[in-house]
A = this chain, B = another copy of it.
Amino acid sequence: MKATAKAHTNIALIKYWGKRDDALILPTNSSLSLTLDGFYTTTTVDFQEDLLQDRFILDNQPVEGEAYRRVTEFLDLIRRIAGKENLYADVHSTNDVPTAAGFASSASGFAALAAAGTKAIGLELSDRELSRLTRQGSGSACRSIYGGFAEWEMGNNADGSDSYAVPIAPAEHWDIRVAAVVLSSTMKKVSSRSGMKRTVETSPFYSGWVDTIPNDLLEIKEAIHAKDFEKTGSIAEANCLKMHATTLAADPPFTYWHDTTMRVMQTVQEMRENGIPAYFTIDAGPNVKVLYLPENEENIKKTLRNIPGVSDVILSKSGSGISYL
């Protein structure tokens, strides 16, 4: 009863920003992401009859507290589906997601855990079923089941049965790349979770955000299918700015941006003015991710590394979905 799975993280081009149900992790809007080859988690789940509780080893260190609790509660879901509620597991995970890169390792982490855990316990789930299950561990993780571009359909049902990701285009469809721009100072005063919550509850702009997502999604899917980089990038960049704008109107207002974040954004816009197509997107933190095309890789890397306040630039291709090792 042992299985190993590998999952890549993903970067949202149309952001997940707001929950309609905290416990089931149901979003207020659909979202769309690109799975990234360069950042992944490998997890082995080993269910053993003689264990009295789960164990969770991350990067060779035993984990306790909040992170442990989230893992065991997620394994509880798997045990319940399998009808094996008293079977505990040894979980070993390795994160190849540089923490400082500002990617939530929870996306690749919960996708790998869901894949390895369900396989180890003997469940045979479709991708869609696996995505729906993964969503309950970490919302954005449900998109990491697939390679390339994936859309998390928000669904309408109160039980979350229609809220899962679907594949939009595989990694092979289009060689589009992402530079993770890591800042020297990555402090954030408001967590992603509480920032999202405060925005949903207090920002007068939140309904404007939700209302405009369906059109953003429609347009970006057209652009992705047509491999229209300018259109894909413009929509992603505008969607990111719109998401961050909602936080500026929250009560009290807040932002995840630093001065260096702004400098990276300015530099990307200047690159475009100089004929190099590049677009930024930013999650709930100060780091910036830059979308670019393979032919501009050297130029992009050099330009971004030279920005004062930037400590590292990590490049990635589009990645594949879940794999079993």
A interface vs B, CB < 8 Å?
203-205, 207-209, 211-212, 234, 237-238, 241-242, 244-246, 248-249, 251-253, 255, 257-263, 266
- In the complex where A204-B212, A212-B204 touch, is A259 in contact with B249 (Cβ < 8 A)? no
Give the nearest-CB partner of A234 in chain B.
B252
C-alpha gap A249/B252 in the complex (Å): 20
Give the nearest-CB partner of A309 in chain B.
B259
Give the nearest-CB partner of A208 in chain B.
B204
What are some 8 contacts across the A-B interface (CB < 8 A)?
Answer: A204-B212, A237-B253, A242-B249, A245-B248, A259-B260, A259-B262, A259-B263, A261-B262
Give the nearest-CB partner of A215 in chain B.
B204
Q: Which residues of B contact A205 (CB under 8 A)?
A: 204-205, 208, 242, 245-246, 249
Are B257 and A262 in touch, CB under 8 angstroms? yes
Q: Which residues of B contact A237 (CB under 8 A)?
A: 253
Are A238 and B262 in touch, CB under 8 angstroms? no
Are B259 and A238 in touch, CB under 8 angstroms? no
Tell me the minimal C-beta distance from A49 to chain B in angstroms.
Answer: 54
Q: Which residues of B contact A208 (CB under 8 A)?
A: 203-205, 207-208, 249
Q: Which residues of B contact A259 (CB under 8 A)?
A: 259-260, 262-263, 266
Q: Most chain-B CB neighbours within 10 Å: which of A234, A238, A260?
A: A238
Q: Which residues of B contact A238 (CB under 8 A)?
A: 249, 251-253
Q: Most chain-B CB neighbours within 10 Å: which of A203, A211, A249, A258?
A: A249
Contact partner of A262 among B204, B234, B245, B262, CB < 8 A? Answer: B262
Q: Most chain-B CB neighbours within 10 Å: which of A237, A241, A263?
A: A241
Q: Which residues of B contact A212 (CB under 8 A)?
A: 204, 249
Give the nearest-CB partner of A244 in chain B.
B248
Q: A205-B246, A257-B262, A261-B262 given. 7 additional CB < 8 A pairs?
A: A204-B208, A204-B211, A207-B208, A212-B249, A241-B249, A242-B249, A248-B248
